[in-house]
Structure 1
Amino acid sequence: MKKIYYLSTCSTCIRILNELDGLLSEFELQDIKNEKITPNQIEEMHALSGSYESLFSRRAMKYKSLGLGAKNLSEDDYKNYILEEYTFLKRPIFVIGDKIFVGNSAKTVEAIKSELTNN
């Protein structure tokens, strides 16, 4: 499977997609604002990443407004927040076969490029 979970209104996601444009022809793109993450999808991401916390974005505006930084969140909490509100999913997420790449750090983008050019 080759899939990208992204947010079409996120300039960082769009920049990364543009940067990788020539390498993405076989990918299915899912704009998480217009097509919600399903429980099955979050389970698949969890199986690849090893934790819901690794998929959770602490940069979401709601993270601060809900005071989540002061709470001790469990794995189930992370999962439920991601399913309830798309902004809690760290993005973009690239699923390439049995590998997952989460987030927008330069290191992650380089790892994606490397994976795509070596296959």
Structure 2
Amino acid sequence: MKKIYHLGSCSTCIRIIKELNLPTDFILQDIKKEAITEAQLAEMKDMAGDYETLFSKRAQLFKQRDLKNQNLDESDFKNLILEHYTFLKRPVIIVDDKIFVGNNKSVVEAAKNAIH
């Protein structure tokens, strides 16, 4: 599978997608317009190792709800991501059996190498 979960209104996601110079067989899913399903999230978790890796602690809701002062476990991370798209660390790039999570420069470079 070749897929990117992203936010269409996120300038960082847009920049990264352009930078990746994607082949036409990639599927792009704007997570605001098409919510992540539980099955999709479970597949991402299996590839990433855990839900926490997929969870964005930089989300505004994370700060607003004061979640940093709560003791969150894997089920909390899963439920929060399913509850609101902003909790998914973006973009999530899947290339066959590899997953790349987030916008860190080294992650994007690794994704680029896997794609080309």
- Per the shorter chain, which TM-score range? over 0.9
- Structure 1: which 5+ residue stretches go unaligned? none
SS in 2 for 1:82: helix
- Structure 2: which 5+ residue stretches go unaligned? none
Deviations 1:70-91 (A, max 9, x none): 0010000000000000000000
Residue 69 of structure 1: aligned partner:
68
Within 5 Å, give how 1:26-105 maps onto structure 2: 26-105=25-104
Deviations 1:24-71 (A, max 9, x none): 321100000000000000000000000000000011000000010000
Residue 5 of structure 1: aligned partner:
5
Task: Using the aligned pairs only, state the percent identity.
Answer: 56
**Structure 1 length-normalised TM:** 0.95
- Runs of 4+ more than 2 Å apart: none
**Structure 2 length-normalised TM:** 0.98
SS in 2 for 1:94: strand
Distance 1:67 1:85 in 2: 16
SS in 1 for 2:17: helix
Aligned length: 116
Distance 1:107 1:25 in 2: 24
SS in 2 for 1:5: strand
Distance 1:24 1:5 in 2: 16
Deviation at 1:116, TM superposition (A): 1.2
